[in-house]
Homo-oligomer: A and B are copies of this chain.
Amino acid sequence: MNVSFNKRDPVYIQVVRQFKERIATGTFEPGQEIPSRRELANQLKINPNTAQRAYKEMEEEGLIYTEGNNPSRITKDEHVLAAVRGELLEEAVDSFMTSIRRIQIPFDELVEVMKEKYQEQSGKEGGEIK
């Protein structure tokens, strides 16, 4: 587990995002057991309630499920799983589009700028320390 957080976004949101990324990239398998709230809290040095908050969030989105008081698991719902990556992507693109909409930049120029950045960033493993 990567224990780096930025201090701009709430911790619980960042935890959720990490899980989504791991689901999207296949690091998590369907039905896979995930750490208990308290264990995750220990690992990440966060408050157990913060972990709980993140899990609750994910549960409401159908990303994980919990039966009885057993450790929660990654959902097996193929639809949900398949959608995660697309949602992350779409979210990012939408937000991006919104922020450049008014600058009136031609699409080609946009692609050009991005191409440069894309190469620069290849191989980087982002995240700021708290």
Contacts and interface: CB of A to CB of B under 8 A. Distances in A.
Interface residues of A, number: 33
Nearest to A98: B126
Interface in A98-119: 98-105, 107, 110-111, 113-115, 117-118
B92 A96 contact: yes
A101 B113 CA distance: 16
Given A92-B100, A99-B95, A102-B25, A115 B107 contact: yes
Given A103-B25, A105-B89, A96 B98 contact: no
A90 interface: yes
Contact of A117 (B85, B97, B99, B124): B97
A103 to B, nearest CB: 6
B97 A118 contact: yes
